């Protein structure tokens, strides 16, 4: 084993080697840019501590930002120190580590070892109860307070290490000040400062609820997610025994730790004082979740001899990708400029392209993935590609485009669009309108939004329905009409709004109301946005998904999906035929002609939605060879051969919802630096927003890069010419052998027979599609890379 690791140490550069072999007892900060091997060094350092410094594996505590990162690190360590050793290392997120330790040392902090972790949904139910006695007072002051708001406020206090008693004391102190001083302080702090939470009536209510909430959880022997950290700190701080086992703490992605997490690290390491952290201030993207970049300085304060090592070589990306990424981050003028050298050749310039609308953009992404696969002759597979999104909601159009081209894909960190709770809720209502006998939809929404119809009542309704051999919805209607007498009046009352809503909606549908309007009416009638706000901490992005569903409905209605979509395909085929001869052939088109019978707009829409979900087969799951769709946040620390970032537009990068523009710029930087060989940034000049096609602008982050004479050339409209030098570079960066030439020829021939590329020939295929403006791209004589 020792030989194994010492052999691998030879692959490291001098700075990396120094970091791995740095004396264990001297606290160490490894600060470096993306792809410089921070995570690799951290992993090797763990192996080095075990193998060469004889630290028992169980005495090492390694903290990762996500469970996925922990699993990856574990896989690497198995190769370095073996399975048994790896199993003993205490590795995971701060939350997971605390949870494990609290199980053992729970009694030190006054809880039982069999505590239950309370999730956000449960917490909100508790808050709903606790808010009630305060409603009068809130109303009197013209204030509103929702469960989710209370949850996030209390979560913020906990992230700062503040207990309920601390909060009560703080409020008392603040409210004891004269009003003028309070106003002056508030002005100085600015509107968004968290300290504003703990002032005045609102502060008193929040602190009181916090106190009650703590009590409720304790009585239930339960901890919420934040409590895991808070109690973890308490355990390690108060009971040295708990931290005595720990000889070395290592933390990855340190720039994104919050105050409580820092305190935790400090206390775990209090006995040994042996700490290694790796981080990159330029990649700090969780300020909105209370991460504190000052934790770097805090560590130097609390661990006095802390030394720093900088890694300055990027091993991940081509020089061109690195240059473009640096050009983006360098526009942050307050940032400390750092060196990050490349270890790879230049490679093709990152692509920057505009498209008239998001469907064309998504179509390009799908087609370009296929072209790259073909022209690299199988050297790259689906799993080498990632599409990185700022918003979850954007995945719907991308998923659809990939599916249409038969590209297997998976959504990282999040459900597939049509599997999302909010999308399913809305669809369930529509299904019930279309087909009242559809029982799954009934059970899904009879109590959504909450009508306080309990599980027992639902069970009773279903039982009666089966007795009477009627759809449950009909039974419910009869109950409300008083036709089933032996039902208690409260149940009748609870169900009447449900029945009314569905009756109205069904009437609208029969009168031919479009799905777009139907969904809008539905969410309005049932108060769905309010329901999300009350029950979901991420209600904003969920509401965006509902809006996105409306956009989808609008596309289906406009025949975008069926008719114009087909027109686009036809036009693309014609252009393809002009360029390449044979297209798909007439019979294909004949077979897909609509027959229109019994097809209401609602049914058409439901069918379109249902078919979109029909993707994963067990075999796919096994092979795992899929294109990844992920948010930029969830991609942190990971890498892919090819990265595609759509919607590089103002309002998306930076997000219209964010208050921290620089954090948004760093997020785009993080996204770009995931790429090893090829990087694509695309944007649409118009996008469907809230059911309307609106013009959009290029992201200011990119506009600035292009406006700067030093960096304007870092992107190109040209697509990489793959069989040439570009492909050789990609092979080198990925460390893979070049593909077999006959295989390349075969795949290229296959692709050019069947592939339709919406960019080459963009003018031609889209020229006569209504709503697709002429976008000024010339038709190339041949595919890039194709032999003349
Ligand atoms: P990020 O900031 O994005 O988390 P990082 O600094 O943690 O990046 P790693 O993920 O550890 O970087 O490494 C990036 C890539 O570079 C990995 O594929 C890794 O195997 C490779 N790499 C790191 N150091 C070397 C080296 N000395 N020689 C060859 N490849 C290396
Ligand atoms: Mg890393």
Atom of ligand 1 nearest to the CA of 673: 3
Q: Which helix (H) or strand (E) holds 127?
A: helix 120-131
Is the dihedral angle over the CA atoms 507, 510, 514, 515 positive or is it negative? positive
User: Ligand 1 centroid to 39 CA: how many Å?
Assistant: 7
Residue closest via CA to ligand 1's atom 27 equals 12
Quick: pLDDT tens for 47-89.
999 999 999 998 999 999 876 788 789 899 999 999 889 988 9
pLDDT at 672: 98
pTM score: 0.74
User: Ligand 1 centroid to 321 CA: how many Å?
Assistant: 15
Residue closest via CA to ligand 1's atom 8 equals 35
pLDDT at 769: 35
User: Ligand 1 centroid to 752 CA: how many Å?
Assistant: 36
Highest mean pLDDT among 92-96, 345-349, 489-493: 345-349
User: Ligand 1 centroid to 426 CA: how many Å?
Assistant: 44
In 501-530, which positions are buried (b, 16+ CB within 10 angstroms) versus exposed (e)? bbeebbebbeeebbbbbbbbbbbebbebbe
Residue closest via CA to ligand 1's atom 14 equals 35
Average pLDDT (97-110) is 82
Cβ-based burial of 258 (10 A; exposed 0-12, middle 13-18, buried ≥19): buried
Q: Residue 714 has what DSSP assignment?
A: S
Look at residue 710 and tell me whether its pLDDT is greater than 70.
yes
Q: Which residue, among 721, 726, 750, has the nearest Cα to 738 in the 3D structure?
A: 726
Q: Which residue, among 55, 56, 57, 96, has the nearest Cα to 77 in the 3D structure?
A: 57
Quick: pLDDT tens for 668-695.
999 999 999 999 999 999 998 878 889 9
Look at residue 334 and tell me whether its pLDDT is greater than 90.
no
> Is the distance from CB of 698 to CB of 649 less than 8 angstroms?
yes
3-state DSSP helix/strand/coil percent for the chain, to nearest 5? 55, 10, 30
Residue closest via CA to ligand 1's atom 13 equals 37
Range with the poorest average pLDDT among 110-119, 177-186, 385-394, 637-646? 110-119
pLDDT at 772: 36
- Looking from the CA of 215 toward its CB, the CA atoms found within 13 Å total 8
By most ligand atoms within 8 Å of CB, the mutation choice from 9, 37, 73 for ligand 1 is 37
By most ligand atoms within 8 Å of CB, the mutation choice from 20, 35, 68, 341 for ligand 1 is 35
User: Ligand 2 centroid to 734 CA: how many Å?
Assistant: 17
Pairwise pLDDT comparison (578 vs 239), residue with the higher score: 239
Atom of ligand 1 nearest to the CA of 314: 16
DSSP of 368-382: HHHHHHHHTTTSS-G
Distance CA 327, CA 306 (A): 31
Pairing of strands 675-684, 351-355: parallel
Residue closest via CA to ligand 1's atom 23 equals 37
Distance CA 630, CA 388 (A): 5
Q: Which residue, among 367, 421, 391, has the nearest Cα to 687 in the 3D structure?
A: 391
Q: Residue 651 has what DSSP assignment?
A: B
Highest mean pLDDT among 110-124, 256-270, 351-365, 669-683: 669-683
pLDDT at 718: 84
> Is the distance from CB of 402 to CB of 409 less than 8 angstroms?
yes
Omega prior to 654 cis, within 30 of 0: yes
Range with the poorest average pLDDT among 93-107, 729-743, 773-787? 773-787
Neighbours of 56 (CB within 10 A): 13
Residue closest via CA to ligand 1's atom 19 equals 37
Residue closest via CA to ligand 1's atom 29 equals 315
pLDDT at 259: 87
pLDDT at 383: 93
Helices first, then strands: H and E counts in the chain: 36, 18
Residue closest via CA to ligand 1's atom 18 equals 316
pLDDT band at 27 (very low <50, low <70, confident <90, very high): very high
Pairwise pLDDT comparison (756 vs 154), residue with the higher score: 154
User: Ligand 2 centroid to 43 CA: how many Å?
Assistant: 10
Q: Hey, which residues does 681 pair with through a beta bridge?
A: 352, 645
User: Ligand 1 centroid to 97 CA: how many Å?
Assistant: 25
Look at residue 745 and tell me whether its pLDDT is greater than 90.
no
Average pLDDT (390-403) is 90
Look at residue 775 and tell me whether its pLDDT is greater than 60.
no
Quick: pLDDT tens for 608-629.
676 553 333 333 344 478 999 9
Name the one residue in this structure whose structure tokens are 């606290």. Answer: 27
Quick: pLDDT tens for 221-279.
778 888 989 999 998 888 777 777 889 999 999 999 988 899 999 999 988 899 999 99
DSSP of 399-454: HHHHHHTT--EEESSS--GGGSHHHHHHHHHHHHHH-TT-HHHHHHHTTSS-----
Distance CA 523, CA 353 (A): 36
Atom of ligand 1 nearest to the CA of 12: 27
pLDDT at 596: 33
Q: What percent of the chain has pLDDT over 70?
A: 85
Average pLDDT (509-527) is 92
Name the one residue in this structure whose structure tokens are 């997971």. Answer: 96
Q: Which residue, among 137, 102, 105, has the nearest Cα to 117 in the 3D structure?
A: 102
pLDDT at 201: 84
Average pLDDT (538-560) is 82
Number of residues that make up the chain: 788
Q: Which domains does the chain have, with CATH numbers?
A: 1-115+224-311 (3.40.50.300), 119-220 (no CATH), 319-414+617-761 (3.40.50.300), 417-571+599-611 (1.10.486.10)
pLDDT at 760: 46
- How much is the mean pLDDT over the chain? 83
> Is the distance from CB of 353 to CB of 759 less than 8 angstroms?
yes
User: Ligand 1 centroid to 505 CA: how many Å?
Assistant: 56
User: Ligand 2 centroid to 593 CA: how many Å?
Assistant: 51
Give the helix ranges, DSSP H, for 690-740: 700-707, 727-734
Quick: pLDDT tens for 281-328.
999 888 776 677 788 889 999 998 999 999 999 999 999 999 999 999
User: Ligand 1 centroid to 319 CA: how many Å?
Assistant: 15
Ligand that comes closest to the CA of residue 311: 1
Pairwise pLDDT comparison (192 vs 196), residue with the higher score: 196
Q: Which residue, among 351, 316, 380, 346, has the nearest Cα to 674 in the 3D structure?
A: 316
Q: What percent of the chain has pLDDT over 90?
A: 41
The two tokens of residue 179 are 């009003």
pLDDT at 777: 34
**336 backbone φψ class: left, alpha, beta (φ>0; ψ -120 to 50):** beta
Distance CA 745, CA 740 (A): 9
User: Ligand 1 centroid to 7 CA: how many Å?
Assistant: 17
Look at residue 205 and tell me whether its pLDDT is greater than 60.
yes
By most ligand atoms within 8 Å of CB, the mutation choice from 40, 41, 76 for ligand 1 is 40
The two tokens of residue 392 are 């979850």
User: Ligand 2 centroid to 378 CA: how many Å?
Assistant: 28
User: Ligand 1 centroid to 679 CA: how many Å?
Assistant: 18
User: Ligand 2 centroid to 39 CA: how many Å?
Assistant: 4
Look at residue 583 and tell me whether its pLDDT is greater than 60.
no
pLDDT band at 580 (very low <50, low <70, confident <90, very high): very low
> Is the distance from CB of 608 to CB of 643 less than 8 angstroms?
no
By most ligand atoms within 8 Å of CB, the mutation choice from 254, 283, 315, 329 for ligand 1 is 315
Distance CA 446, CA 426 (A): 12
By most ligand atoms within 8 Å of CB, the mutation choice from 10, 12, 33, 39 for ligand 1 is 39
Average pLDDT (541-555) is 87
Question: Phi first, then psi: what are they for 279, rounded to 5°?
Answer: -165, 170
Distance CA 361, CA 367 (A): 10
Ligand that comes closest to the CA of residue 314: 1
pLDDT band at 471 (very low <50, low <70, confident <90, very high): confident
pLDDT at 766: 37
Ligand that comes closest to the CA of residue 315: 1
Instruction: Assign 246 to helix, strand or coil.
Output: coil
Q: Residue 106 has what DSSP assignment?
A: G
CB neighbour list of residue 598: distance below 8 Å, 6 or more residues apart: none
- Looking from the CA of 475 toward its CB, the CA atoms found within 13 Å total 23
Atom of ligand 1 nearest to the CA of 283: 2
Name the one residue in this structure whose structure tokens are 């229109």. Answer: 596
Average pLDDT (380-386) is 95
Highest mean pLDDT among 83-87, 162-166, 385-389, 725-729: 385-389
Residue closest via CA to ligand 1's atom 21 equals 315
Residue closest via CA to ligand 1's atom 24 equals 37
CB neighbour list of residue 494: distance below 8 Å, 6 or more residues apart: 451, 452, 453, 457
Atom of ligand 1 nearest to the CA of 40: 11
The two tokens of residue 595 are 């027959």
Look at residue 565 and tell me whether its pLDDT is greater than 80.
no
User: Ligand 2 centroid to 716 CA: how many Å?
Assistant: 28
Give residues (CB < 6 A) around ligand 1: 11-13, 16, 32, 34-40, 280, 283, 315-316, 637, 639
Quick: pLDDT tens for 431-465.
888 878 777 788 889 999 998 888 889 889 988 98
Q: Which helix (H) or strand (E) holds 190?
A: none
CB neighbour list of residue 188: distance below 8 Å, 6 or more residues apart: none
Highest mean pLDDT among 152-166, 308-322, 568-582, 766-780: 308-322
pLDDT at 156: 87
Distance CA 539, CA 146 (A): 12
Q: What's the CA angle centered on 47, arms 46 and 52, to 5 degrees?
A: 110
Distance CA 260, CA 538 (A): 22
Look at residue 559 and tell me whether its pLDDT is greater than 80.
no
């Amino acid at each position: 084993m020792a030989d194994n690791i010492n052999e691998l140490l030879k692959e490291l550069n001098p700075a990396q080697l120094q970091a791995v072999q740095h004396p264990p007892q001297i606290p160490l900060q490894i600060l470096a840019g993306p792809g410089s091997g921070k995570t690799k060094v951290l992993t090797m350092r763990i192996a080095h501590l075990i193998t060469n410094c004889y630290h028992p594996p169980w005495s090492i505590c390694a903290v990762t930002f996500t469970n996925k990162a922990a699993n990856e690190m574990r896989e690497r360590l198995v190769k370095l120190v073996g399975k048994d050793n790896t199993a003993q290392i205490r590795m995971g997120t701060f939350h997971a580590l605390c949870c494990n330790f609290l199980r053992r040392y729970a009694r030190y902090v006054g809880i039982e070892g069999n505590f239950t972790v309370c999730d956000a949904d449960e917490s909100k139910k508790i808050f709903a109860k606790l808010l009630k006695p305060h409603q009068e007072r809130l109303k009197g002051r013209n204030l509103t307070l929702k469960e989710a708001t209370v949850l996030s406020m209390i979560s913020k206090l906990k992230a700062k290490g503040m207990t309920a008693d601390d909060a009560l004391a703080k409020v008392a102190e603040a409210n004891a000040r004269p009003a003028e001083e309070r106003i002056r302080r508030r002005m100085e702090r600015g509107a968004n400062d968290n300290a504003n939470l703990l002032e005045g009536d609102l502060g008193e209510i929040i602190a009181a609820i916090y106190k009650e909430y703590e009590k409720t959880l304790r009585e239930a022997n339960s901890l919420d997610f934040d409590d895991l950290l808070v109690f973890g700190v308490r355990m390690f701080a108060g009971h040295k025994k708990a931290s005595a086992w720990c000889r070395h703490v290592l933390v990855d992605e340190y720039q994104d730790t919050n105050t409580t997490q820092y305190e935790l690290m400090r206390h775990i390491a209090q006995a040994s004082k042996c700490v290694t952290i790796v981080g990159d201030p330029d990649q700090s993207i969780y300020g909105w979740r209370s991460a504190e970049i000052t934790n770097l300085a805090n560590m130097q304060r609390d661990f006095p001899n802390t030394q720093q090592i900088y890694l300055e070589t990027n091993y991940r990306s081509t020089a061109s990708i690195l240059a473009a990424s640096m050009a983006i981050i360098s526009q942050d003028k307050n940032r400390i400029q750092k060196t990050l050298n490349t270890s790879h050749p230049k490679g093709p310039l990152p692509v920057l392209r505009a498209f008239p609308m998001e469907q064309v953009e998504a179509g390009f992404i799908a087609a370009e993935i296929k072209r790259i696969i073909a022209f690299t002759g199988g050297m790259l597979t689906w799993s080498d590609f990632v599409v990185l999104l700022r918003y979850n909601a954007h995945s719907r159009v991308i998923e659809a485009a990939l599916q249409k081209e038969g590209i297997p894909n998976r959504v990282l960190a999040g459900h597939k669009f049509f599997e999302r709770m909010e999308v399913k809720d809305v669809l369930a209502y529509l299904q019930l309108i279309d087909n009242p006998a559809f029982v799954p939809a009934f059970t899904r929404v009879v109590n959504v939004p909450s009508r306080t119809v309990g599980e027992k009542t639902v069970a009773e309704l279903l039982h009666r329905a089966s007795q009477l051999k009627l759809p449950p919805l009909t039974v419910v209607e009869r109950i409300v009409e008083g036709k089933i007498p032996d039902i208690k009046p409260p149940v009748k009352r609870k169900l009447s709004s449900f029945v009314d809503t569905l009756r109205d909606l069904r009437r609208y549908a029969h009168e031919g109301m479009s799905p777009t309007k139907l969904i809008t009416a539905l969410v309005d009638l049932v108060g769905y946005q309010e329901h999300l706000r009350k029950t979901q901490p991420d209600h904003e992005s969920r509401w965006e998904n509902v809006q996105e569903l409306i956009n989808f409905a609008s596309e289906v209605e406009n025949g975008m999906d069926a008719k114009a979509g087909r027109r686009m395909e036809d036009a693309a085929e014609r252009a393809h035929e002009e360029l390449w001869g044979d297209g798909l052939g007439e019979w294909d088109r004949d077979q897909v002609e609509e027959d229109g019978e019994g097809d209401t707009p609602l049914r058409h829409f439901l069918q379109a939605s249902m078919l979109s979900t029909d993707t994963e087969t067990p075999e796919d799951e096994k092979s795992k060879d899929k294109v990844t769709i992920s948010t930029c946040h969830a991609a942190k620390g990971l890498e892919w051969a090819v990265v595609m970032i759509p919607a590089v537009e103002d309002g998306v990068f930076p997000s219209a919802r964010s208050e921290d523009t620089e954090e948004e710029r760093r997020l785009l930087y993080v996204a770009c630096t995931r790429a090893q060989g090829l990087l694509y940034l695309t944007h649409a000049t118009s996008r469907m927003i809230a059911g309307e096609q609106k013009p959009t602008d290029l992201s200011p982050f990119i506009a600035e890069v292009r406006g700067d004479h030093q960096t304007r050339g870092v992107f190109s409209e040209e697509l990489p010419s793959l069989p040439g030098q570009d492909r050789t570079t990609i092979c080198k960066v990925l460390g893979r052998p070049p593909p077999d030439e006959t295989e390349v020829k075969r795949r290229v021939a296959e692709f050019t027979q069947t592939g339709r590329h919406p960019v080459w020939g963009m003018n031609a295929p889209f020229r006569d599609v209504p709503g697709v403006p002429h976008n000024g791209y010339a038709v190339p004589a041949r595919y890039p890379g194709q032999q003349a």
